Amino acid sequence: MNQMQNFTKGFFKENPVFVMLLGMCPALAVTNSAVNGLGMGLATTFVLVMSNFVISLIKNLIPSKVRIPTFIVVIASFVTIVDLSMAGFLPGLHEQLGIFIPLIVVNCVVLGRAEAFASKNTLGSSIVDGLGMGLGFAMALTMLGAVREIFGNYSFFGYKFIDADGILVFILSPGAFIALGFLIALVNQITKKAKA
């Protein structure tokens, strides 16, 4: 496939959250607002692009049997970098995302792309794949966050459009599951119609 297809596949056709059902933990946990979803999505994109880059670079130097632990360590170092940078420069977001920043290291999207793509493709393709998948992930999280925030807090990206308490369940745990379930159904319908 060409690089354009490589880049865009992460948005709908192979969207990590809606289609491949990966990276659910952060998708459910930090999407209580649109900005949190977006922040997490971008942080994950950074880790994804950087780890895809490094892993694609060193793929021929790694013995096959240790490749998973090696990938994980590479990913862990970028996660640490993101974690520290956010603590120093984006403290508000860092506090909101909390424990889910270090948990990027076990985000199945990141390890999944390293194993399925970066370890088998060229440097350029891997970076594009990382970018596409990462931004697709970010898009999914922002969408879920926006839905939950609109119904749960009557606000959008922090801008409150109805001055009242929203439907609380949407920003609590059950709301995350239910909102994601309906979003997946919706996306499935849209992609089915697009194919037809």
Partner 1 sequence: MAKKESTFLNMFLTLLIVTAISSLAASAVYNLTKGPIAEVARLKQQKAIEQVMPGFTSYNEFKVMPETGKDSLIFFKAFKGEEEIGVAINSYTYVGYSGLIKIMVGFQPDGAIENVEVLVQKETPGLGTKMAEPKFKDQFVGKNLADFNNHEILVTKDGGVIDAITAATITSRAFCDAVNRAYRALEENKKENK
Partner 2 sequence: MEYIIIIIGSVLVSNIVLANFLGICPFLGVSGKLTTASGMSGAVLFVMTVATIITWLIQNYILDPFGLGFLQTISFILVIASLVQVVEIILKKVSPPLYQALGVFLPLITTNCAILGVALLAIQKEYSLVEGTVYAVGNSMGFALALILFAGLREHLELMDVPKGMRGMPIALVVAGILSLAFMGFANLVSI
Q: Where do contacts with partner 1 occur on this chain (CB under 8 A)? A: 32, 59-67, 69-70, 73-74, 76-77, 80-81, 84-85, 87-89, 91, 98, 119-120, 152-153, 165-166, 168, 171-172
Q: Which does 107 bind (CB under 5 to 8 A by kind): partner 1, partner 2, none?
A: partner 2
Least distance CB 10 / partner 1 (angstroms): 22
How far is the C-alpha of 78 from the C-alpha of 177, rounded, in Å? Answer: 29
Residue 129 neighbours by CB under 8 Å, 6+ apart: 6, 7, 10, 52, 113, 117, 118, 121
How far is the C-alpha of 154 from the C-alpha of 161, rounded, in Å? Answer: 6
Q: Which does 120 bind (CB under 5 to 8 A by kind): partner 2, partner 1, none?
A: partner 1
Q: Which does 24 bind (CB under 5 to 8 A by kind): partner 2, partner 1, none?
A: partner 2
Q: Which does 88 bind (CB under 5 to 8 A by kind): partner 1, partner 2, none?
A: partner 1
Chain residues in the site for partner 2 (CB under 8 A): 21-22, 24-26, 28-29, 68-69, 72-73, 76-77, 79-80, 83-84, 99, 102-103, 105-108, 111, 169, 172-178, 180-182, 184-185, 188-189
Least distance CB 81 / partner 2 (angstroms): 10
Least distance CB 126 / partner 2 (angstroms): 20
Least distance CB 20 / partner 1 (angstroms): 22
